[in-house]
Structure 1
Amino acid sequence: MTALAALGLGLVIGAFLGALGGGGAILTVPALVYLLGQSARDATTSSLIIVGAAALTGMIGYARSGHVRWRLGVMFGIAGTAAAYLGTALNRQVNQHYLLIAFAVVMGLAATGMLLRARNRKPEPATASVGAARFAGPAESSDAERTVAARAASPVGEAPARSREFGQGSRWTAGAKILVAGLGVGFMTGFFGVGGGFVIVPVLVLLFDLSMPVAAATSLLIIAINSAASLVARAGTAHFHWAIIVPFTIAAMAASLAGKTIAGRLPDRLLTRIFAAMLIAIGLFVAVQNIAQIS
């Protein structure tokens, strides 16, 4: 029965992860704790395997469509590796109820940022093609416009490519953004035991001006790197419940491919609102549950 429950939850979480590039781990940790009976620390370890494997699988579909920003994703992930080790060390020292309350607070902050971004975005241009409008959000169009302008202003093609990859700003500004954001996300990955998609996607949207589909695709690469680093940091001290992890992971990997198809059929702004609503709902549930147990 536990294996069947893990299989069903994996299908749901994999679909969210593939469609939104984040949220899988947010669902995974509460599901492992409240539905499958794991402790918070065991759940955070199990989720790293589940979400990391599902992220790699989901990234395949996005890579074929050319939506993964490879250089940005690799640099972002590497920047967070050392911080992931620090977060893992702190995870072992914190009471699990306080850990989950902090987890809920971060979810709320991320959801707020995403909702503000969705409200302030301009509508898609009417001249966009049907295929582009279906998968490329407003920021994607603005990236293209900036690229054309930059190419006209400079005979060197490197600057426009960097603009597309890292958003507006100089190389040093982009590097500083990647370093700071990567360290923060890496720490959260190690501390909360999640892939970090619920933070990575808002960061990529807000700081690098990527559309939701491109941010989702790139976040999957970052999630895989951060998850691997955090798992290495936990090696030797973690407990792995393979009877739960294996079916959960297989189902999540399969469903993450379907999630990419779902994302291609929904508007960018709707995806943003779905993501934010999911963060708020689960964050409230986790906070109420753990505050009640502390009181």
Structure 2
Amino acid sequence: MSALILALAAGAVVGLALGALGGGGSVLAVPALIYLLGFTPAAATTASLIIVTATSFTALCAHARTGHVRWKAGALFAAAGILPAAAAGAAASRLPQPILTTAFAVVAALAAVRMLRPGRPSTGHPPTVRPAAAAGTGAGLGALTGLLGVGGGFLVVPALVTVLAFEMQAAVGTSLLVISVNSLASLATRGATTAGADWPVIAPFTGAAILGAWDGKRLAAKVSGTLLRRVFAAVLLAVAAWMLVDALTP
């Protein structure tokens, strides 16, 4: 199968995840770029950030139109994560890849387990934003974004649901704002690797992901938050197990 077809297929899946779940794009894009398209881990994380930045911004616009973005909380998360994301992105290049892959898998699995726990009942009104909680959580997630080369949506969504008691649809929309900002901050520290990016693969991958994000947005409007949460958790657990086995296999 040609690289173009693989890039288009993988991009569609990544976009669908971002549009419907508000995250999961990088956690799916990185393995696809490595195992399907032959990218090195370093090149894959950089390419993933490029793809997810463009796709998440597109999906953010779609969710904003339906009022599913909590701008105040999202801004706090994003602002708190900018410097940690940039610093961790610079440090990531000095760490052995198996350590990064293992950390990626463990964090994804923990996020999935937390998503499977029963959520707090929604009151139907936007929750009160706790600035300290939002800023502290945002800083931690920003650091993980830079370190692991992911947009961070697969961590932001659980954090918004469990820490700030967001309903799932608002968590999905707001996470896209945080993903866009964190991904840009992390990309700023990877200038050397973006210069040699494989654009003939990245461009169609990104285009398919953007189109998939619109389909994902429509899917999110038709499916309950509980089901979305379970699907999100199942995807995270599967990818975490795959990457952990790969990291620990000689």
Normalising by the residue count of structure 2, what TM-score does the alignment of the two structures yield?
0.95
Q: Deviations over 1:81-139 (max 9, x none)?
A: 00011211221011112211110000010001110134xx5xxxxxxxxxxxxxxxx52
- The within-5 A match list for 1:102-251 is 102-118=103-119, 121=120, 138-139=121-122, 142-144=123-125, 164=126, 166-167=128-129, 174-238=130-194, 239-251=196-208
Distance in 2, Cα, partners of 1:190 & 1:143: 34
Deviation for aligned residue 1:210: 0.5
Distance (Å, rounded) in 2 between the aligned partners of 1:165 and 1:244: 41
Identical-residue share of aligned pairs (%): 44
Q: Could you tell me which amino acid in structure 2 is paired with residue 63 of structure 1? A: A
Q: Is the 8 A contact 2:134 2:164 kept in 1?
A: no
Aligned to 2:224: 267
Conserved 8 A contact 1:69-1:165: no
Q: Please tell me whether the aligned partners of residues 14 and 209 of structure 2 are also in contact (alpha carbons under 8 angstroms).
A: yes
Q: Post-superposition shift, 1:289?
A: 1.2
CA separation of 1:12 and 1:259: change in aligned 2, threshold 3 A: same
Match of 1:279 in 2: 236
Does the Cα contact within 8 Å between 2:19 and 2:215 map onto a contact in 1?
A: yes
Q: CA deviation at 1:165?
A: 5.3
Q: Report the residue type matching 1:36 in the other structure.
A: L
Q: Tell me, which stretches of 5 or more residues in structure 2 are unaligned?
A: none
| Contact 2:127 2:165 (C-alpha < 8 Å) held by counterparts | no
State the alpha-carbon separation in 2 of the partners of residues 199 and 12 from structure 1.
19
> Displacement of 1:208 after TM fit?
0.7
Asked if structure 2 preserves the Cα contact closer than 8 Å seen for 1:91 and 1:190, the reply is: yes
d(CA) in 2 for partners of 1:267, 1:237: 40
Q: What amino acid is aligned across from residue 193 of structure 1 in structure 2? A: G
Return the letter of the residue paired with 2:132: A
Partner letter of residue 20 of structure 2?
A: A
Q: Structure 1, residues 201-220: CA drift from partner, whole Å, max 9, x if none?
A: 00000011001111000000
Return the offset for 1:176: 1.1
**Aligned equivalent of 1:87:** 88
Give the partner amino acid of 1:18.
G
Contact 1:196 1:223 in 2 (8 A): yes
Partner Cα distance (1:17, 1:234) in 2: 23
| 1:60 shift after superposition | 1.6
Q: Using the TM superposition, give the Cα deviation of residue 235 of structure 1 relative to its aligned residue in structure 2, in angstroms.
A: 1.5
CA RMSD of aligned residues (A): 1.3
Structure 1 CA distance for aligned equivalents of residues 166 and 24 of structure 2: 18
Larger Rg: 1
Q: Is the 8 A contact 2:11 2:205 kept in 1?
A: yes
Query: 1:236 offset after TM fit, Å?
Result: 3.1
Instruction: Write the letter of the residue equivalent to 1:230.
Output: S
Q: 2: CA distance between counterparts of 1:13 and 1:60?
A: 17
**Pairwise CA distance, 1:78:** 1.1
The unaligned stretches of length 5 or more in structure 1 are 122-137, 145-163, 168-173
Structure 1 residues 245 and 237: alpha-carbon distance in aligned structure 2, compared to 1, 3 A threshold: closer
Alignment of 1:26-105 (within 5 A): 26-105=27-106
Instruction: List per-residue Cα deviations over 1:203-247 (Å, max 9, x = no partner).
Output: 000011001111000000110011111111211344311111101
AA aligned to 1:112 is: V
CA distance in 1, matches of 2:85, 2:152: 11
- Separation in structure 2 between the aligned mates of residue 117 and residue 73 of structure 1, nearest angstrom: 23
Q: Counterpart amino acid of 1:61?
A: A
Number of aligned residue pairs: give it.
248
